[in-house]
Structure 1
Amino acid sequence: MTRRRADFTVLCTALAVFVLAGCSQDGFQLDEKQREVSREVAARVNGEAIYTADVELEAVARGLVVSGAALRSGDEAYRQVLDQLIDQKLMAQEAERLGLEKDPAAQRRLEMAQERIMGNLLVESVVAQQVTDEMIDRMYAEQVRLQQVNDQVSVAHIVTESEEEAEAVWLRVQAGEPFEGLVFNHSKDSATRMENGDLGYVAPNDLPDPYPVVIANTPVGEVSAPFQVEDSWRLLKVKDRRTEPPKTREEMRPEIATFLTLSEVSRILRRLRTEASIEKVDGQTYTPENAPAPAKALTGDEL
């Protein structure tokens, strides 16, 4: 189990090397709606504007704030980044005054910078369109199964007939009532209600879905939120573990999102390489007919 977890982390790290240079971690954030760029001015340098959106984007790229977090003009991170952008603007203006951008080498570097930015925009587009919460849930469930192959977990549950009843019991647990004290009056499982809902030590993968994921996301001593199993609703308490628990969904989410993003970028690049005509310095021309076979794409089964 430990080896499989390590392999997944190493794979994500290896794939990260593949991504286009200059793409910040923000490129892998999900649930970000496309927003119109704010034209609110943060500062003017010799009449040229620096926008608050520029400050926010740069702060996220440098890891000073989390994507989506509020960044106010009074914050130290805001002032720090704005001062750096002012210096950057001053230096760019001076370089332009000296005509440095007209140098052929400088023009090529500017073109390459634009290419990197366009590549980053493609990555962001991939995230927005292809890396969904549904895909993350599917891969997380798959990883949980792999990581809990040899797990032995002591659990107890309460089985109710409706979501409303399960929610009512959940609220009482959240209010501090002992889980065991609620089992007898509320659980419909006649086989366990006299035993405080105890199922003993179980192998999570031997239980029906979504038990394996619920068990993975519930720390020892805590009770899960209500979840549905066929025609009933249930709450689950994890009492003990004989093995190290897998990461929760939220802990593994960045790794999975990164893996899915880079896998999709790899797929796009393989297609583009196959369709393109590429001539290297050795004079050999690669066309769709003789292009080298692209590297085999890894799937969730191979993590």
Structure 2
Amino acid sequence: MLFSQLNAQKTNNDVLFVVGGEPVYTSEFLRVYNKNLDLVQDESQKDVDEYLKLFTNYKLKLKEARALGFDKKPAYLRELKNYKKQLAKNFLTDTKVTNALIEEAYERISYDIKASHILIKVSENASPQDTLVAYNNIVSLRNRALQEGFENVRTSVHNGKSIYGEDLGYFSGFKMVYKFESMAFNTPVGEISKPFRTQFGYHIINVIEKRKSRGECTVAHIMVVDKKEDTIANNAEIRINEIYKKLNQGEVFEALAKQFSDDRSSASKGGQMAPFSSGQISSKIFEDTAFSLKNNGDVSQPIKSKFGWHIIKLIDKKPIASFKDMKSELENKVKRDSRSKLIDDALHDKLKVKYSVKPNPEALAYFTSILNDDYYKRTWRLPNNFDNDKPLVKIGNKQITYKAFGDALVRNQKGIRNKEPFVNLVSNAYNNFLNTSLVNYQEDNLENENTEFAYIVNEYRDGLLLFDLMETTIWNSAKNDTLGIQNYYKTNKDNYIWPERVDAIVASSANQNVLKKVSKLLAKNKELSEIKETVNTNGDVNVIFTTGEMEANHQALPNHFKFEKGISKIYKHNDAFIVVKVKEVLPKKQKTLKEAKGLVTSDYQVFKEDNWLKTLRAKYKVEINKEALAKVKQKIKNQ
């Protein structure tokens, strides 16, 4: 009876279950299930019944969060408001203009421009007289450059203060401010641009060359980082040069990467990294070295970056990705870039039409008439007879009065830098005021106007509540429950064991005979430096050592390595030969609470949460609509 009554209130959308009297509809469950289907790693969560358990737990927690007043906390309301404002930026845009800019951006990142420029510095707020002087100077320099040659003029006028003449090298889209970028790409190769202005001043650009983008590069690398113990075995520069010598001796790059690279994420793959393009690697020397390799299989000399020492091998180079693959990334860049002003202008024009905004020249004339020279002194105030409540402009169903714009004018005088006609001041201030008001109005109504926005906000709203609830009720509570953690550890001690390890020296070589000699020297307890001097002859690196405590899965040890004290047999491992001197076998042993504290605390939190959920199910009755659940299962099966 309950489900039929609730369903009658919402047609074509069954109630799937009720939590403490509140209905949850099948549409919400299906939307969340389908959205998260590809993200779950646990196959059991793809089972509808298992996912329904997770979803009812989620709703139980939200019910409790609201019952405890978490949704009324000022910090929560403030963070939700800020998130909505940030999220709205993705929805407040003009699609047509945005798409045109994305296409233009793709065209530009497909090329690199080599150019130089001359800049006459002048402030954005400079007086008309100073602006005119700067403009005349840049025109004069352009005329000189056309006669004397751009490079001659550029190098002769540069003073690093008021005039900059710079060789910019190669750059692509998004590397310069949009105005500068556009002039560079729109100026033919070999020509000098017309003078143009950015926020820095007046420029002219000499476009020297235009080439196709370097595209995407795939490399493998061997990385050696500096260790705290700067011994002969661990010195990064010595070690990388030893590895490089082994490469020149004909050993396989991938095998050496597996044995010695400190980049664990790529070592097991023979050093191969994910593909990257210009600007994606946070090391210029690494990127330039990678792109400088010409043929697949070429290997660089050792180089040093801020991360350590590298040897780089070129796997493949390919052109820039397709527009389809890059569109999303480019859209984000366009919206963060100075070109976004074009998108903003198009949006404001669209909103004026959408919300039937009408011009009010009479109001602007009035505001112009009440300004005086106090405005330039930043002491101007609204007159005593000012009509606060007079209608100024209507946006949708919201009436904005004279007072709102009058207050904005008062605030704006703080930013006045130069005297300009009052009519210009008022016009500019009103345009900014109106545009901001338009966007704010749409933001305030976006949940009602846009279903997708409403869904995302609701998910964040619930997620934020859930985080605050879990942090307060479970995570912090469990973390600070010293006695509870101790008792849980005592009850579950068998879960916290150190695995068996060895304190060992691993010698690696491509030459099995060399390792036979090393094995004998290790048996005699010779120092590693002495062994290296003995076997690394004629400038060749025939052996490299790895030392320290190692578990069975350590990259230096072969599979199924038997943990026994002494010198091992010689193994074939990672396309090379190794011999291991086990100095000590560290047996499996119980971890102390201090050693296992992080894992114990995490497990204890899960234990507390499971018990807490049982109390919530007792507090808020959960009723499943079996008929609606059967329909959901059938719908998912037919997808």
For normalisation by structure 2, the TM-score amounts to 0.18
RCO higher in structure (CA 8 A, sep ≥6): 1
Q: Quick check: which has more Rg, 1 or 2? A: 2
For normalisation by structure 1, the TM-score amounts to 0.34
